[in-house]
Structure formats: C-alpha cells, structure tokens
Copies of this chain bind each other. A is one copy, B any other.
Amino acid sequence: MQKFPIHASRRLRATPYTERVEASGLTGYTIYNHMLLPTSFGSLESDCQHLKEFVQIWDVSVERQVELRGPDAHKLAVMMSARDLSSAEPGRCYYAPVTDRNGGILNDPVALCLAPDRYWLSIADSDLLLWALGLAVGMNLDVEVFEPDVSPLAIQGPLAVELMADVFGEEVRSLRFFRFKWFVWRGRNLVIARSGWSKQGGFEIYLDDNSLGIQLWDDIWAKGAPYNLKPGCPNYIERIEGGLFSLGNDMTREDTPLEVGLDQYVNLDSHDFIGREALRAQAKQGISKKLMGLRIDGAPLPPLAMPKDCMADGQRIGMLTSAVFSPEFDTNLGFAMLDIAHAETGSEVQVQYEAQLRNAQVCSFPFTR
C-alpha cells in the first residue's frame, strides 16, 4: 500500500477538530462529504477493542447538515423521506432513507426535527443538498436549503454516558436513544443527541460554531482520564459486526431500501414521497436481490477495497460490498448484495478473490456469535 500526503484545502476541508486529531496519533484519513474523516488511530483492531470497553472522541464533522428552513421545510422533508416524517416531533432523530423516482437510494441521513419549520438532515457521503435544492426550485417551494456551520463531535463507547455527564451535567443520562435536547456549554446552547455510528452507545454533539472546536475537544478531553478516553473514529470492523451500512459501499442509487433490508424505515401507505410508487410496485412484486451478511472462510481479510464477485455453481450471483476479519467473531464478516435465490440464511456461496474462491455462509443481520 503506497502512502500519499493528504492536502486539506477549501475544496477538501479540514474540520474544527483537525488540529487535535492530527496531534493525537492519527494513522489514517479518508475523504467524506468533501472533508477529512479519520479512519484509524493505531490499528482497526486496537481501536475496535478500545471502543467496546471504554469511550472515544470522534471527529465526525463530515456528517454535514442540510438545513431546510421556512414554511415549506416540513413539506419538503416529508416528500424526500421514505420514512414517514409527517408527524415528526422536535427533539427526535429519524433514520430516513432518501430515494429517487425509481426507489434508488440517494442518501440515508438522520433527520433532526428542530422545529416544525426547521430540519437538519445529517447526511452520508453525497451532496444531498443539491437534491433538496433541485426539488425546492423545481416545485417552487418556499424553503431555504443550505449547509449551516455545524460540525458534529461524537462520544462513543460504553463509558460515554459517564464522561458526558461530567462535561454536560447529569441530565444527559436521561436522554433516550435517537432523542436530542439543547444543553448549555460555556453559555451556549448545543444540540446533543443520543446517537452515533457505532453499536456501543453514545452521543453526538452538534457544534454550531467552527471557531469553538478546539475548546469543545479540550473540555471533553480534560475529563477523559478516569474513563480511558482515546481519540477514535467510525470503525470498519465494529460497523460490520454491528450491521451498519455505508452509502456508496453497501448501497447506491442502484439499490432500493427494500433490497438493503431497510423495510422498517419505509412507510408505503401513510405519506406520499418520491419513489413511493416504484417501491410499492417492488414490494408487491418482490425483490430480486438482497443485502445479506456473509461469513467468509480462510485467512483473515483486510478491509475490502473494490467489490468482489459472489459465485454459486460457477455463476455470478452477487457482489461482496464490505468485508473484514473480526477478532471478536474469529472469522471474516462481510455484506453482499445477492440474487434473491441465494439470499437466505444458511446458503453456501463463494467469493472470488483473484484466482481463489473462498467459501462463505449467508446469514442475516446483525451478526450473532
């Protein structure tokens, strides 16, 4: 693996926390939403182990917000989301797949209803702002669509609640999963949600002034020693073990939420949204492919680069989209989009690694030991 310098610029932005991140043992970067995202602080294995035992501070500024504000903000949010947001309440977060007319996935944001006329869509890696803006202009809606100065910082891990209570007060303990409230920090109101891109529990702090990033990081860091706080980031191993899908890797515009198994976030009968007719037709007709878990035999695998073919009886029957060795499960775990005939627990398939075929067993999510 060659190494190259990554140059931040106005086009590939640094974050309010970059200075601290780079001084904290960073060993890997990627780019996400035109911004720097750490990928490791040592090794994926040691980061993963620490995340499961203690607490980490994550620079997830790349979770950019698309703000919808104005009289038609609610209407636009409802229209954009396969999840029914028509009775969305302030203080709640909603995982809300966004689809095109064919039901293809454009993004899978978490929608925060800040007020009836104000939403944040906390986005995965595509310029969802341009989709929202195109709809707003095309339909002549009375809504502003913009990216506010908001850079989330996540606190993740089993000890997150202890650390957060030390920094923001005891009230954070009562915050329920996928709820948010405004908390006072240095005389300022910050949105804090019980959420985050891991299965270890934690919080996301929506800092809304990038000049305060270092101060916020330092205030949290100063309270971290009792909890063995370390810097971290979304972890490739942990997210696969936990069944968290990555836009662009495990799902694209070529896939629908039904094919990815997000049925519980798709409401076909309660509200109108873009893609509903296509998804209704697909629900009626049945899906022809499905994203499934795989346990892959053989030597430990590094994180998957480009997708690999999945085979059965010498035929290509799908595609491996993410995979890595899991120390906890002591096997290779992955996600694969498989023809429906093979998309059932217990099916045996093969994955094509160069000239080698590896046997793999199909299973459902989340992985269980």
The reply to whether B9 and A305 form a contact with Cβ atoms under 8 Å apart is yes
List CB contacts (< 8 Å) of A84-98 with chain B.
none
Contact indicator per residue, chain A 1-15, by CB within 8 Å of chain B (1) or not (0): 111111111111110
- Interface size grouping (class) on chain A: 35 or more
Q: Which residues of B contact A305 (CB under 8 A)?
A: 7-9, 14
In addition to A3-B5, A6-B6, A9-B306, 6 A-B residue pairs with Cβ atoms within 8 Å of each other are A7-B303, A11-B125, A11-B248, A12-B31, A127-B130, A131-B131
A304 interface contact, C-beta 8 A? yes
Contact indicator per residue, chain A 110-152, by CB within 8 Å of chain B (1) or not (0): 0000000000000001111011111111110000000000000
Q: Which residues of B contact A131 (CB under 8 A)?
A: 130-131, 133-134
Q: Which residues of B contact A252 (CB under 8 A)?
A: 10
From B4, B26, B246, give the contact of A11 (CB < 8 A). B246
Contact indicator per residue, chain A 296-328, by CB within 8 Å of chain B (1) or not (0): 000000011111000000000000010000000
A247 interface contact, C-beta 8 A? yes
The reply to whether A2 and B2 form a contact with Cβ atoms under 8 Å apart is no
A27 interface contact, C-beta 8 A? yes
In the bound complex, CA of A54 to CA of B272 (Å): 58
In the bound complex, CA of A138 to CA of B9 (Å): 34
The reply to whether B9 and A304 form a contact with Cβ atoms under 8 Å apart is yes
The reply to whether B134 and A10 form a contact with Cβ atoms under 8 Å apart is no
Q: Which residues of B contact A13 (CB under 8 A)?
A: 306
In the bound complex, CA of A136 to CA of B334 (Å): 36
In the A-B complex, the 5 residue pairs with the closest CB atoms: A134-B134, A138-B138, A11-B248, A127-B127, A130-B131
